[in-house]
Structure 1
Amino acid sequence: MNKQPVALMSDEKEILDVEYPIVEHFNTIQGEGAHSGRASYFIRTAGCDVNCWWCDVKESWEEEGHPVMKVSELVEVVKESGAPFVVITGGEPLMHDLFPLTKALHSLGVQIHIETSGSSPLTGELDWITLSPKRFKKPTEEIFEFVDELKVVVLTNKDLAWAEENAAKCPEGTTLLLQPEWDTPKSIPLIVEYVKEHPEWGISLQTHKFLKVP
């Protein structure tokens, strides 16, 4: 199921020639969130205007200095991988118009998942939307009706209040997850106790870091 209307371009060639700055792309296993453990192809776009201080891919913040790839090239590497599930992440992927890339990827029959802060307008043909909102750059209001998964990184009690504020805007049935910040161990017992008291929430762990999966 696609969450956004399709934006048709003039022809297939025009779509395939659209370019994106790409930090990295690779065949892997989704390590966190609702699809943890699932075979996936990751596409990490360059450029971010959120700049979380705990970000472990700060090299993705600047758009300049990264290779530019055509949609046709990205479709080909995904096709060769055989992965049934594509994760578009960043940086902040919604800084780019994702309609051309997602439309072309859907021609392969794959499902498309985006991980976003929601701070830029929503674009693309998307099958699963993970919203990871940040207190210092809030998501747009229009994204909430499309959210499948709300995943909030927790450092302190303020983040738990922030999680509830955003959950109240999400559709009924949205998967609600709290994720400890990797370098903030004190967030783990905070989350564990909160989930015990609020069972509508679950816990997301960065299993790829434990397993050393890229």
Structure 2
Amino acid sequence: MHTTHTTFILAGHTVHHVTFAPTTFTDTDLLWLPHYAELSNAGRKRKAEHLAGRIAAAHALGAINERAIPGIGPSGEPLWPEGVSGSITHSGAQAMAVVVRHQDALVGIDCEAILPDHEAREIQDGIVDAQEAMYLTHSGYPFALALTLAFSAKESLFKALFPQVKTYMGFDCARIMTLDERTLTLALTRPQAEFKENTLFTVHWLLDGNQVITLL
């Protein structure tokens, strides 16, 4: 599979960005993965996205002198080397990964195409409550952009917390408190493992063309 690797900085961290050409993917490309057999029943799109994500992760790990490819955990989460925390995201024909050398760091990254306005209005109730929707409406940002940011920020938070809470979190588990030109603040709406209700988390965001990238 043909890929291109670049990097950019978000919130002081290096994000490793891989773009790929889906039409160049073949099943033999998966043999690069130690866990390739676990993907034997996946669809072609899923295989290509997974491979791109692991390539991005391998670049990120290599940059901190770790030679490893994250495996797949029981809930589909990446399994990072001991002493490392990280996160992977993919959207369309691209994938991103970020890692830090700390066993229990909270790291979550997500990338989303900005929702069309009509779609944002249709699905908003599944992402935010009425109070959040009112806040986003008056945030100074187009509603579709603000809602996409809320969706992505919550995804980044859930990815970051999963290694410690080990449970699925719905969009109602966190509430948008603030949104400014660089960050969003989220508050937990209920306790999650050792994290108390109303614990605040800062998520950094970046607008990149017709997509947003969020990082906790």
TM-score bracket for the superposition, by shorter chain length? 0.3 to 0.5
Highest RCO, 1 vs 2 (Cα 8 Å, sep ≥ 6):
1
TM-score, reference length from structure 2:
0.32
Bigger share in helix: 2
TM-score, reference length from structure 1:
0.32
